[in-house]
């Protein structure tokens, strides 16, 4: 799923939400969920890598990659929660921080691509044990959540901020879109 494939009707629901409520929703529904998902996935990946290290399709390096994603995401989400989201909720639309967050989203998409490559697109091998199947199902859900998370921020939360910024010309909050 990419930004383009999140259904426009679904995005319209988020578009209609007040900005402060949308930032709170993003934290509760996506940030906190990633913080729950990733430690479990890392532990399970370690177990699979240990137990099945002689299997030809063993996802060597998966736990390390998930750990790197967790660190990147945690740093990113903290910046959103502590700096950007309070500004958006307060009617301030900083173009610099938004551009930085969008660049980091691109990096997250690249890390998702590597994650899918490591896991054969989340397809466990024939005869895989229940834990291996559960790991890939969990990763599949995490990837879907993260795609949706990024799409809503890029297409609704940050875009909404730019549109809202147009209403504040001459008030120190120009979006830059008119230049």
How far, CA to CA in Å, does 37 sit from each of 70, 79, 119?
10, 20, 17
How far, CA to CA in Å, does 156 sit from each of 45, 62, 74?
33, 32, 21
Stretch that binds Fe ion, among 65-73, 74-82, 121-129, 164-172 (CB under 5 A): 74-82
Stretch that binds Fe ion, among 3-11, 44-52, 77-85, 164-172 (CB under 5 A): 77-85
Give 63 or 153: the residue with its C-beta nearer to Fe ion.
153
Site string for Fe ion, 135-174 (x = CB under 5 A): ------------------x---------------------
Stretch that binds Fe ion, among 12-20, 44-52, 78-86, 164-172 (CB under 5 A): 78-86
Distance between CA atoms of residues 82 and 125, nearest Å: 42
* H runs (alpha helix) in the chain: 8-15, 19-26, 32-51, 62-79, 85-89, 95-118, 130-152, 158-166
Give 132 or 158: the residue with its C-beta nearer to Fe ion.
158
Give 37 or 80: the residue with its C-beta nearer to Fe ion.
80
Identify residues 22-61 at the interface with Fe ion (CB under 5 A): none
Contact call for residues 152 and 14 (beta carbons, < 8 A): yes
Contact call for residues 109 and 95 (beta carbons, < 8 A): no
Give 69 or 153: the residue with its C-beta nearer to Fe ion.
153
Chain residues that interact with Fe ion, rule: CB under 5 A: 80, 153
């Amino acid at each position: 799923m990419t930004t383009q494939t999140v259904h426009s009707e679904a995005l319209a629901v988020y578009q209609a939400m007040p900005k402060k409520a949308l930032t709170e929703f993003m934290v509760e529904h996506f940030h906190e969920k990633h913080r729950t998902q990733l430690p479990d996935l890392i532990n399970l990946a370690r177990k699979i890598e240990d137990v099945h290290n002689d299997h030809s399709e063993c996802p060597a390096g998966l736990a390390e990659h998930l750990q790197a994603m967790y660190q990147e995401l945690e740093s990113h989400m903290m910046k959103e929660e502590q700096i950007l989201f309070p500004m958006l909720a307060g009617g301030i639309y900083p173009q610099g921080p938004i551009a930085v967050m969008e660049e980091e989203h691109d990096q997250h998409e690249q890390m998702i691509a590597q994650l899918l490559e490591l896991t054969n697109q989340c397809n466990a091998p024939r005869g895989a044990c229940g834990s291996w199947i559960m790991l890939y199902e969990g990763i599949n859900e995490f990837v879907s959540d993260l795609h949706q998370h990024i799409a809503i921020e890029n297409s609704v939360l940050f875009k909404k901020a730019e549109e809202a910024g147009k209403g504040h010309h001459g008030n120190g909050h120009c979006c830059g879109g008119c230049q």
